[in-house]
Amino acid sequence: MTDTLARRLAEIEERKLLAAQRASRHNEDVTLVAVSKTFDADVIREAHSLGVRHFGESYLQEWQSKVDVLPEDIKWHFIGHVQSNKIKHFDGRLHLVHAVDRASVIKAMKKEDAHQHDILLQINVGGEAQKSGADPAQLEALLERCVNIPNIKIHGLMTVPPYHDDAEESRPYFVALQRLLDRARTWLDRHELLLEHPCDQLSMGMSGDFEVAIEEGATLIRVGSALFGERDYS
Ligand SMILES: *Cc1c(COP(=O)(O)O)cnc(C)c1O
């Protein structure tokens, strides 16, 4: 496994670098989040030994079973659907929660105030009925709910565009998320809230389209299968 993993990681790092260069961006401004859902702790340990520090998980119980047995310097990203009744398990060991998309979740986080919640708002830019994510029209309303809560820090936006085989099909959705981030920053600025902490993160791009996402401003790319291989959900 290590040989394959090392080779795939090197390949992804190279493609990431080239995409950043094409966009005249600094490669260090884009963080690779290795999506390790369905892969066991040994695989994560190997990736960690190769230098990967950011890992993404989608299922609470699975993350909980891994976090205790893995190195403490791992930065854990929760990228799955967030349910209000699970927030009590979102402890300080989570680095960033990517997919907050409704007021009830924000309310639940406010209540769990023993630690800080670092979050992104998930926006359904494709307007797909079956997908999570807030409607773009709700952006300011969600921001307004977050901003005066001392234990919630909103760092930016996240999206999962409609699935296509052709990565170019994702580009308009990535451009749309970048514009929504501008809109969020304008709103925060007008309320003199931008200076308290930066709201500048764009979580977008997966195995099939991360290069296009980098070209359109992604700061966090979520790459699973291109790094670890196909997932087996059985
Ligand atoms: C599983 C998952 C990924 C990784 O997908 P790949 O296509 O395997 O890279 C990224 N983002 C989210 C939200 C996911 O659930």
Cα(176)–Cα(70) distance, integer angstroms: 37
Task: Give me 146's structure tokens.
Answer: 């977050």
User: For residue 215, which amino acid is it?
Assistant: E
CA of 36 relative to ligand 1 center, distance in Å: 9
CA of 128 relative to ligand 1 center, distance in Å: 17
What percent of the chain is modeled with pLDDT above 70? Answer: 97
The closest-lying atom of ligand 1 relative to the alpha carbon of residue 208 is 7
Q: Which residue's alpha carbon is nearest to atom 7 within ligand 1?
A: 207
Task: Give me Rg for the CA atoms of the chain.
Answer: 17
The closest-lying atom of ligand 1 relative to the alpha carbon of residue 37 is 1
Task: Give me 98's structure tokens.
Answer: 């990517």
User: For residue 13, which amino acid is it?
Assistant: E
pLDDT for 139-153, tens place per residue? 999 999 988 899 999
Residues 6+ apart with CB under 8 A from 124: 101, 131, 132, 133, 134, 135, 136, 159
The closest-lying atom of ligand 1 relative to the alpha carbon of residue 231 is 8
Residues within 6 Å of ligand 1 by CB = 35, 37, 58, 79, 160, 206-208, 222-226
pLDDT for 21-42, tens place per residue? 999 999 999 999 999 999 999 9
pLDDT for 154-196, tens place per residue? 999 999 999 999 999 999 999 999 999 999 999 998 887 655 7
